[in-house]
Amino acid sequence: MKLGRELLSAQAIQQRVRELAEQVSKDYARIARPLILLSVLKGSVCFATDLSRYVTVPVNFDYVAVSSYGSGTESSGVVQLLKDLTMEVTGRDVLMVEDIIDTGLTTSFLFEHVQRHRPSSLKLCVLLNKEERRVKPVPISYKGFDIPNHFVVGYGLDYDELYRNLSAVHVLEPD
């Protein structure tokens, strides 16, 4: 597989991340304690980090990790928690930050997992959404872009651990 055409430019991504951060800042302007930005390793790190730089309310960072595609491009459908929350989220406002939602299986698993800790609120912020692939519905509060059903890389997203450092999002193509 090789790097294909650019789907979203670095500039378009940064512009949209700023807009999402503005909306988040407005919605959480009156919270009593810092907003917990909970991102999913490793793919969401670029997005969550950039988002946090534009958000104007106080934030805390936490991370979870789940098993996903491994080294291929197809989801196994089986989600496993590899790294749990380290912060106490009970009674706190939590914003789950996701790189991409495909079938929705990973996100709904995580959403239910965090919900069991009884946060005072839990919302979902996702950069890329592949709506046509959805198997399980997920409640998205903040969405960056709807994209077609391609396997994409860059801006945190990998293929075999490569391409995460690209500032644009590209389609992956066969050799």
Q: Minimal distance in Å, beta carbon 86 to ligand 5GP?
A: 20
Between vectors from CA 20 to CA 124 and to CA 150, what angle results, nearest 5°? 70
Q: What is the rounded CA–CA span in Å between residue 24 and residue 29?
A: 8
Q: Minimal distance in Å, beta carbon 35 to ligand 5GP?
A: 21
Q: What is the rounded CA–CA span in Å between residue 115 and residue 139?
A: 13
Which span sits near ligand 5GP by CB under 6 A: 9-17, 56-64, 82-90, 151-159? Answer: 151-159
Cα radius of gyration (the chain): 16
Q: Is 93 an active-site residue?
A: no
- Is 145 a binder of ligand 5GP (CB under 6 A)? no
Q: Which of residues 81-140 bind ligand 5GP (CB under 6 A)?
A: 99-107
Which of 96, 170, 104 lies closest to 131, judged by CA?
A: 104
Active-site pick, 99, 102, 146, 160: 102
Give me the residues that bind ligand 5GP (CB under 6 A), please.
Answer: 43, 68-69, 75, 99-107, 151-153, 157-159
